[in-house]
Amino acid sequence: MIIRRATPADTAGIWALLEPVFRAGETYAVARDITREAALKMWVEAPAATYVAELDGALVGTYYIKTNAGGGGAHVCNCGYITGRAARGRGVARGMCVHSHTEAAGLGYEAMQFNLVLASNVAAVALWHKLGFATIGLLPGAFKHPSLGPVDAHVMYKQLTGQGGSKGA
């Protein structure tokens, strides 16, 4: 698998990965009817960096890195990952997440936070735990799943560099 920075030539392939996930409305807090333009702006233009994963010359995954909050929280990033349906179970999400740790640290981020990992996305929760993320909060019924109804969401966190923690007190 090759993971690299996305280029303008990748936008059609990125949209092909995003569209079915966003339309299903089962894992991302994104309007199910989001336009191609709005989705690409959110995934490719707004983040600090966007990447794609290739297997056998085909785009099979994508992820972004963006600042989670501003000001005193700007050292913590947030990432979003999507693996194409045909490539699931082949280590793509794991590879992208591991890659994102190195890339995020290289961009100056000290920690990574996932704000809304759905409890119904059991595979993602398990993978993020295996990769060193701690669940630091649970948001009851935070997501209205199209078939399951209200679903809890995990807030997950991982220190990338330094010691973290709070200063003062």
Check if the beta carbon of residue 11 is closer than 8 Å to that of residue 41. Answer: no
The mean per-residue pLDDT over the stretch 53-75 comes to 95
| CA distance to 16, 44, 65, 144, per residue, from 62 (Å) | 11, 10, 11, 24
Contacts of 19 (CB under 8 A, 6+ apart): 36, 39
Query: Quick one: pLDDT at residue 136?
Result: 97
pLDDT one-digit tens code per residue, 76-121: 999 999 999 888 888 899 999 999 999 999 999 999 999 999 999 9
Q: CATH 3.40.630.30: does it fit domain 2-159?
A: yes
| Domain definitions of the chain by residue range | 2-159
Mean pLDDT across the chain: 93
For β-strands 49-55 and 76-83, DSSP reports them as: unpaired
Query: Quick one: pLDDT at residue 168?
Result: 39
pLDDT one-digit tens code per residue, 3-36: 999 999 999 999 999 999 999 999 999 999 999 9
Question: How far, in Å, CA of 73 to CA of 94, rounded?
Answer: 26
Indicate the DSSP class of residue 8. G
Sort 43 into a burial class: Cβ within 10 Å, 0-12 / 13-18 / 19+. buried
**β-sheet bridge partners, residue 2:** 54
Query: Quick one: pLDDT at residue 90?
Result: 83
pLDDT tier, 165 (very low <50, low <70, confident <90, very high otherwise): low
Q: Which of 8, 84, 19 is nearest to 44 (CA)?
A: 8
